[in-house]
Amino acid sequence: MKNILILLPILILVSCNKNAITGRNQLSLFPELTLQQQAFTEYHTFLNKNKVITAADNKNAEMVKRVGLRIQQAITSYYSKRGLSKQLEGYQWEFNLVNNNEINAWCMPGGKVVVYTGLLSVTQNETALAIVLGHEITHAVARHGNERISQAAVAQGIQVAGDIFTQNKEQANKLFNTIFVPSAQVAFLLPNSRKQEYEADHYGLIFAAMAGYDPREAINFWQRMSSQGTKLPEFLATHPSDENRIKQLQKYMNEALSFYKK
Those residues whose C-beta lies under 8 Å from the C-beta of residue 245, and which sit 6 or more positions away, are 197, 198, 201, 222, 239
Q: Are 225 and 183 in contact (CB under 8 A)?
A: no
Residue type (1 letter), 16: C
Strands 94-98 and 112-116: parallel
DSSP one-letter string for 105-156: EEEETTTEEEEEGGGHHHH-SHHHHHHHHHHHHHHHHTTHHHHHHHHHHHHH
Q: Which residues, in sequence order, are CB contacts of 66 under 8 Å at separation 6+?
A: 126
Would you name the residues annotated as active-site residues? 136
Helix axes 144-165, 190-210, angle to 10 degrees: 170
- Phi, psi dihedral angles at 112 (to 5 degrees): -90, 115
Q: Give Cα separations from 230 to 52, 119, 242, 245, 246 (angstroms).
A: 30, 17, 11, 16, 17
Element (H, E) at 17: strand 16-18
